[in-house]
Chains A and B, each alone.
Chain A
Amino acid sequence: MAKRDRMSGNEAVAYAIKQINPDVMPAFPITPSTEIPQMVSTFIANGEIDTEFIPVESEHSSMSAAIGSEAAGARTLTATSSCGLAFMWEELLVAASNRMPIALALVNRTLSGPININCDHSDSMGARDTGWIQIYAESNQEAYDNFIQAYPIAEDPRVHLPIMICQDGFITSHAVMNIELLEDKEVKDFVGTYQPEEFLLNPGKPMAVGPYSVSNYAMEARYNQEAAMEASKDVIIEVAKKYKELSGRGFELFEEYRTEDADYIMLIIGSAAGTAKQAVDDLRDKGIKAGVLKLRVFRPFPADEIAAALSNCKAVAIMDRTESYNGHGGPLASEVTAGLYRNKVMIDTMCYTYGLAGRDFTVDTVYGIFDELKDIVENGAEYKQHRYVGLRSK
């Protein structure tokens, strides 16, 4: 039976971790994710779960300890944000290439500088090519739901990859909102017991983890990683279907909100999608056929599925909450436009950078963006294709 409650996003993830009761959690605190290890260590101190908590001296060490523990055969997770993720960088790649199904609760915060504690996606987007699955949440509810689906995806023998469950720092991590929680037993049954096929502490089957690989073999290892990432797409969908049977809440690679007959679509990730949905409802009341495509899974990247979903609209606004400093848009802009081109979907695209370092994203901003799309389609207006929204006026 579902339980109605109210929680912040950090509380929701800590609660999911409590229900999962993982074997090991090495962690080092950093705002805004600090509350997660703090709450989990309280659950452990109170005897509510028997997770082994390893306080480490840095994020490089927390990910190193996670790799060691996962290699030993223990279900492992950690949490971090921003510069903490950057400091894990080398180890993120080691975790993925050694095919460690570690879960990481990432509370998105901007990378320095100027130094700032607020939300954007520069941390996780910077780590987009480290070989981790990345799933993003609109709300505390989705952060909870995604976290419960993390291990069934990551530990699936077809996948065996680490997984990052992302939520927006402060915007969802520190906002108290309504939530529906599953019963402990439902979560335990859904997540199951971790039974690695091979692990270091298996005396009957000795193995090496992370040895040097000569050029004759290393490329095949990378290819297998890429194949596993591709295979994870089906697994993510399968797990979501099972999760819907349990919770009633359905998930896909992305959510299509009022896009069926939409002329204009905003493609966006995370909490800002909720704000965009409200704006779309308002615009629909005025007769403007607007919709939202909320990307949930960024790695693996569903390029073909997105292209198909956008194929009937006239223009799309692709929204990046990070900057690539390449002069033509962020990572989402680059990957979506590449996917459209390769699928020969030749609609108008506009790439917007928004919400950097906690800059607020409002329904008014969304109205303005849809106005521009409409202006392009109806009046042939020309705008610079990569634009910033929400900047202070001069």
Chain B
Amino acid sequence: MNGNSIEIRWHGRGGQGAKTAALLLADVCFKTGAYVQGFPEYGPERMGAPITAFNRISDKEIRVHSNIYNPDLVVVVDESLLGAVDVTSGLKENGAVIVNTDKDAASIAGKLNGYTGKVYTVDARKISVAALGKYFPNSPMLAAAVAVSGVMDKDQFINEMRSSYEHKFAKKPEVIEGNMKALTDTFAALEAYL
């Protein structure tokens, strides 16, 4: 990639919203004037099967259409993938991985096939259940991806996400505040580590 660019790889399980998170990230970064790419890798889609999604965010036009093999950031939406999928494969040592888990970074670091770069953990279940009453990990993990990558300013992200949710949940406005709380709570939880 040329210029200021970041490549992100998402690992999740079918039905958890990793693809939606990647598309929302592309959407929200587009609003900052960036060139964006957000796409899933499709296999035989089943609930619970491992899935991958990708983002390229750049200040230059994006032409590459392949998957991402040397990401700057990896987001693991489901902790049970550790061990089943080599999530840190090709991850840059000066990059970072974010894992959705109730454990701390030190106890996850040993499960990352020797990855020695930065490890962050987010308890997306706790945040989601507290904010929404249900477990939807993608809003917390989206906020975590923005917080760790710094692709955009927090306040701008929060404002843009509100309008995205208002559009996306036009027929379910009752879930907007909960999702907004999930975003801000995630930023708050990560603040001490950034």
Contact = CB atoms under 8 A, between A and B. Distances in A.
Interface in A71-125: 117-118
Contacts of A138: 63
Interface in A155-187: 168, 170-172, 174-178
Interface in B105-163: none
Interface string B25-36: 011001000011
B35 A363 contact: no
Interface string A267-302: 000011011011001000000000000000000000
Contacts, number: 63
A171 B27 contact: no
Interface in B74-128: none
Interface in A352-379: 358, 360-363
Contact of B64 (A172, A176, A363): A363
B26 A6 contact: yes
A168 B39 CA distance: 13
Given A118-B42, A176-B39, A278 B26 contact: no
B36 A271 contact: no
Contact of B66 (A118, A172, A275, A281): A275
B42 A175 contact: no
Contact of A275 (B27, B30, B64): B64
Contacts of B42: 32, 117-118, 170, 174, 358
Contact of A175 (B35, B37, B61): B37
Interface in B29-67: 30, 35-40, 42, 61-67
Contacts of A174: 39-40, 42
Interface residues of B, number: 20
Nearest to A171: B65
Contacts of B39: 170-171, 174-176
Interface in B1-40: 2, 23, 26-27, 30, 35-40
Contacts of B2: 281
Contacts of B64: 274-275, 278, 363
B69 interface: yes
A275 B69 CA distance: 14
A118 B65 CA distance: 14
A11 to B, nearest CB: 11
A271 B39 CA distance: 14
Nearest to B63: A274
Given A6-B30, A176-B27, A178-B30, A274 B65 contact: yes
A6 B64 CA distance: 17
A176 B38 contact: yes
B65 A176 contact: no
Given A6-B26, A170-B42, A174-B40, A360 B67 contact: yes
Contacts of B38: 175-177
A363 to B, nearest CB: 6
Contacts of A178: 30, 35-36, 61
B65 A275 contact: yes
A175 B27 CA distance: 11
A252 to B, nearest CB: 18
A278 B36 contact: no
Contacts of A278: 63-64
A177 B58 CA distance: 11
A271 B65 contact: yes
B65 A172 contact: yes
Contact of B23 (A171, A176, A275): A176
Nearest to A175: B39
Q: Which of A6, A118, A274 has the most CB of B within 10 A?
A: A6
Nearest to B26: A176
Contacts of B62: 177
B109 to A, nearest CB: 29
A358 B66 CA distance: 10
B66 A176 contact: no
Contacts of A117: 42
Contact of A177 (B37, B40, B67): B37
Contacts of B37: 175-177
Contacts of A139: 63
Given A138-B63, A174-B39, A178-B30, 18 more contacts: A6-B26, A117-B42, A118-B42, A170-B39, A171-B65, A172-B65, A174-B42, A176-B23, A176-B26, A176-B39, A177-B37, A178-B36, A178-B61, A274-B64, A277-B63, A278-B64, A362-B69, A363-B66
30 contacts: A6-B27, A6-B30, A6-B36, A138-B63, A170-B39, A170-B40, A171-B39, A172-B65, A174-B39, A175-B37, A175-B38, A175-B65, A176-B23, A176-B26, A176-B27, A176-B39, A177-B36, A177-B37, A177-B38, A177-B62, A178-B30, A178-B61, A271-B65, A274-B63, A275-B66, A278-B63, A281-B2, A360-B66, A361-B65, A363-B66
